[in-house]
Structure 1
Amino acid sequence: MGRWLLLEDLKGLDDAALLLLRLVVGSFLAWGVWDNITSAEHMATFVAFLTKFGFPAPHMMAPLSVGVQFACGAAFVMGLLTRWAGLLCAVNFLVAIVMVDHTLGVRGSFASACLVVIGLYLAAHGPGRFALDPLLSRRLG
């Protein structure tokens, strides 16, 4: 009765659930900045946005943030250097909360807060079995 009540049999799906989490979040992160990568106009709009919110060196910070977000997304999808990507994702979206989203209240900060937590979870837990990190780990010894 206890196994059923606690759904303990679902534990066998943890690697598949991690894969799904990584694919969904990673794809969203990459998709979210693709317009900035492919359009100078969109990047200029992002630079103006960062300027409005008082970011230092917005002309450098905009492409850095876009690059970090895209790299984290790609890393999550592949399960490659996942712990590093998780830390970078958490820092990137913590900065977003501190500099911008806090002005939007709890609801407005929720998406960024979720990405901080997901980043920290992946940094602490790793990508699971269905990833490139385990292959890299075996290769590096």
Structure 2
Amino acid sequence: MRIVEVLTLPFLSRGSDAALLLMRLTVGSFLIFGVWDNITSTERMAEFELFLAKFGFPLPKLMAPLSVWAQFACGVAFILGFATRWAGLICAFNFVVAIAMVDHHQGIRGSFPSACLLVIGLYLATHGPGRLALDSLITPRTLGTR
């Protein structure tokens, strides 16, 4: 093995589709888990509306369910690998807003989870879901899913 191979570990690229699948499943599940209580409980959704109002969001009665359902849809899309690039853009936008309106008050540590979701959304929007995804079944090979 050459020194460059020792330093760069090119053989690991063979697992990139599996790693992307694991990331999509993990993040998608996290997004769904994070909003499930708002979807299944009117009381929790009302609490979220009040939370948004407290931080100065316009139209919190509209913005709360919009954010919740966007996160849920992104989670499902990530898990399935379907419309992944759109889901990545929506996820990134949602968490840019979260950072700008709420999380920045908590500093870097408080903003970190949202920042990670922002970056993951951007990554999936720009790179796609990998071959182990529904998108790869409908994407012509010339466009690729990566």
Cross-structure match for 1:36: 38
CA distance in 1, matches of 2:88, 2:7: 32
| Correspondent of 2:25 among 3, 10, 23 | 23
Question: Aligned Cα RMSD in Å?
Answer: 1.1
Percent of aligned pairs sharing the same letter: 66
Alignment deviations for residues 13-55 of structure 1 (CA, whole Å, 9 cap, x no partner): 0000000000000000011000000000100100000010000
Q: How far apart are the structure 2 equivalents of 1:84 and 1:112?
A: 18
Q: Distance in 1 between the 2:79 and 2:5 partners?
A: 32
2:54 to 23, 34, 52: 52
Partner of 1:96: 98
Query: Which of 100, 111, 117 is the aligned partner of 1:115?
Result: 117
Q: What is the TM-score with the length of structure 2 in the denominator?
A: 0.93
Tell me which residue corresponds to 1:73: 75
Question: Deviations along 1:62-121, whole A, 9 cap, x unmatched?
Answer: 000000000000000000000000000000000000000010001100000111100000
Q: CA deviation at 1:134?
A: 1.1
Q: Kindly state the Cα deviation for residue 5 of structure 1 after the two structures are TM-superposed.
A: 2.6
1:84 aligned partner: 86
Which residue matches 2:14?
12
Please list every run of at least 4 consecutive aligned residues from structure 1 whose deviation after the TM superposition is greater than 2 angstroms: none
Q: TM-score, normalised by structure 1?
A: 0.96
SS of the residue aligned with 1:54?
Answer: coil
Give the Cα–Cα distance (whole angstroms) in 1 for the partners of residues 11 and 32 of structure 2.
33
Aligned to 1:64: 66
Give unmatched runs, 5+ long, in structure 1. none
Match of 2:126 in 1: 124
1-structure distance, mates of 2:12, 2:62 = 45
**Number of paired residues?**
139
- Structure 2 unaligned spans of 5+: none
